[in-house]
Amino acid sequence: MSYPTTPSGHREILFNAFDMNCVVHQSPGLWRHPEDRARDYNTLAYWTHIARTLENGLFDGLFIADVLGPYDVFGASPEAALRSGAQIPLQDPFLLVSAMAAVTENLGFGITAGTAYEHPYAFSRRLGTLDHLTGGRVGWNVVTGYLPSAAQNMGQEDQMEHDQRYDHADEYMDVVYKLLEGSWEDDAVVADKESGVFTDPTKVHRIEHQGEYFKTPGIGVVEPSPQRMPVVYQAGASSRGRAFAGKHAEAVFINPPTKELAQASVQRIRRAVADAGRDPYDVRIFAMQTIVTGPDSTSAQAKYDDLTRYVDAEGGLVLMSGWMGIDLSHFDLDQPIGEVESNAIQSTVETFQKASGREDEVWTVRQLAEWVGVGGFGPVIIGDGPTVAQQLIEWQEETDIDGFNLAYHITPGTFEDIVEYVVPELQGLGRYKTAYTPGTLRNKLFGQGDHLAETHHGARFQLRRSQLTGG
C-alpha cells in the first residue's frame, strides 16, 4: 500500500480538526476574543455546527483530545489552570459524538481515551456502541496519560512508570481486540422471528483472557459493528511509544514545530510500523498545524496580530508545565530564556525560535508563553489561501506526512476560514479530495475495506472459520 492520491495523480493532503471538550484547548486567553465561541463548548449547538462545517470542507476527521485531571504541575496547584481555563472545566469527549454523527454522513471522529483508569471490558462496549451509532466512523486515540493528578484522583499514588504504562496499554489493547474482533462471529445475529432466535449462541465465544493486568474470561456484549475495532490513533513520542504505535496505530499525531523534526519523526514512525511487520504506509501521519488565514495576506497578518493581544501568558505556562512535567511558575515572565537553568526549556525555545524565523531575538519566558498561546506547540502558518496551500504542500513533500491536525486559535472561526480559503486552493491544485470516499472511516483513510489490515496485530484475534471448525 502507499498513500492516497487525487484524480490528478497528486498525493492527497488529509485534514483533521483538533478540539477538546473545554474552553481552552491549545490557545490560552483567546476565549476572550470577541469572535470566539469556545465558551459554548458545553452545548450541542457548538459541536453540531463544528461537525457540519468540517464536513462541508471534506475534513477526514474531528480529533477530540482528552485528559483526566487538572493541569496542576504549574505552582503545584490547579489554581492557575482554573483561572485561565486551561483544559478545565473539561467534559467527556464520547458524549458529543452521537449528536455530531446525526448531522453528518462522512466525517470521522477520533476520540481520546486513556488506558489507565477504565477497565477494557466496559470501555470496549462504549467504543463498539459508537461504531454502530456512527455507521463505522469512529477512531480511538489511545493514550496512556501524562498528568499525575489524574492518577491520584483515581485512587493511585502516582502514574505507573512510563514504559510500564505502555506494557499495560498493550494488554489493554489485546482485551479490546478480543472482545470486538474475537467474540462474535459475523453471522452470530440471526434475528429470526420464526424460530425466535435472536443470536445463535454457538457463534459467540468466550475470550478467556488471563493476563498480567486483566482477567476477562467471558463473551463480549456488543454485536459486530461496521468496523469491529475502530481505527486506532496514537501520539507516542518516546521509543517505547513508537514501538506501541508501530504495533497498533493506523493514524499517528505528531507536533514538531519544524519540517526537519517532522521528517525525522515520520521516518522513525514508518520504521516502527515496518518493524512490526506492516507496510510503512499502513499508518496515516498527521502533523499539528495552526493556520491563520483570510481573503488576503495583509488581513491574515492583521488577524494574527490581533490574536496575540488576547494571549494569556500564564495560561500558556500552565499547559507547558503539564506537557513537559516541569513547574514553570518559578520563572519570572521577563527573564531571558538564556538565564533559565533547564536544558529541556532551552532546547524547546530554540526549536520555536527556528520555527518562527526569530532566531536572532533574545526570548523571554513571556515570549515563549505567547508563542505557545496561539495554537500550542505546533507551527503557525499565516497567509492567504494560496500561501497557506503552498506551505502545506511543501510540508508534505519535505516530510512525508499524510496530512495535518489543525488546531484552532479561535473557534469555530479557524475552521470556517480554512474551509473558505484553503480547501478550495488545495482542490484547485489537485491536492485535496473533491468528494468523500464512501464507507467507514477506515475505508476512507485506506480504501481497503472496513476491517483491520491482515498484517495488523489486532487481526490475529479475528475469528476465522478455519479456527472455529478446527480445520
Ligand X SMILES: Cc1cc2nc3c(=O)[nH]c(=O)nc-3n(C[C@H](O)[C@H](O)[C@H](O)COP(=O)(O)O)c2cc1C
Site of interaction with ligand X (CB under 6 A): 65-67, 112, 143, 145-146, 235-238, 241, 253-255, 288, 405
Residues with Cβ within 8 Å of residue 71, at least 6 apart in sequence: 78, 81, 86, 87, 88, 147, 149, 318, 319, 321, 322
Query: What is the nearest approach in angstroms of ligand X to the Cβ of residue 141?
Result: 6
C-alpha cell at 440: 467507514
Beta carbons within 8 Å of 429's beta carbon, 6+ residues apart = 10, 389, 393
356 has binding-site annotation? no
In 3D, which of 140, 126, 17 has the Cα closest to residue 441?
140
Closer Cβ to ligand X, 161 or 332, answer by number: 161
| Closest CB 375 distance from ligand X, rounded Å | 11
The alpha carbon of residue 237 and the mean position of all alpha carbons in its chain are separated, in whole angstroms, by 13
Q: By three-state DSSP, how is residue 254 classified?
A: strand
Given the complex with ligand X, which of 26 and 353 has the nearer CB atom? 26
- C-alpha distances (whole Å) from 457 to each of 174, 412, 468 are 9, 38, 20
Least separation, in Å, of the C-beta of 368 and ligand X? 18
Would the annotation count 132 as a binding residue?
no
Query: Is the Cβ of residue 59 or residue 146 nearer to ligand X in the bound state?
Result: 146
The whole-angstrom separation of Cα 372 and Cα 120 is 35
Backbone angles phi, psi at 110, to 5 degrees: -105, 110
The answer to whether residues 232 and 250 touch, using CB atoms and an 8 Å cutoff, is: yes
Q: Which is nearer to ligand X, 182 or 379 (CB)?
A: 379
SS3 138: strand
112 is in an annotated binding site: yes
Q: Which helix (H) or strand (E) holds 130?
A: helix 120-133
CA distance 176 to 128: 10
Nearer CB in complex with ligand X: 88/207: 88
Specify whether the CB–CB gap between 373 and 312 falls below 8 A. Answer: yes
Min dist. Cβ of residue 245 to ligand X (A):
8
**Smallest gap, in angstroms, from Cβ of residue 306 to ligand X?**
26
Calpha distance 447→466 (Å, rounded): 27
Spatial separation of the C-alpha atoms in residues 323 and 84, rounded to whole Å: 16
Q: Which is nearer to ligand X, 97 or 254 (CB)?
A: 254
Cβ contacts of residue 79 below 8 Å, gap of 6+?
Answer: none
Report, in Å, the least distance between residue 47 CB and ligand X. 17
Beta strand 251-254 with 284-294 is parallel
Rg (CA), the chain: 22
Which of 238, 467 has the CB closer to ligand X? 238
How near is the Cβ of 178 to ligand X at its closest, in Å? 23
Smallest gap, in angstroms, from Cβ of residue 116 to ligand X?
Answer: 9
166 in a labelled binding site: yes
User: What's the closest the beta carbon of residue 325 comes to ligand X, in angstroms?
Assistant: 10
Specify the residue, 159 or 216, whose C-beta has the smaller distance to ligand X: 159
Q: Which residue is nearest to ligand X (CB)?
A: 241
CB-nearer residue toward ligand X: 243 or 274? 243
Longest dimension (CA), the chain: 80
Which residues face 253 on adjacent strands? 286
The total number of residues written for the chain in this structure: 471
CB atoms within 10 A of CB 457: 18
Distances (CA, A) of 450 to 105, 224, 279: 16, 12, 18
Binding residues: 66, 112, 162, 166, 238
Binding residues for FMN: 66, 112, 162, 166, 238
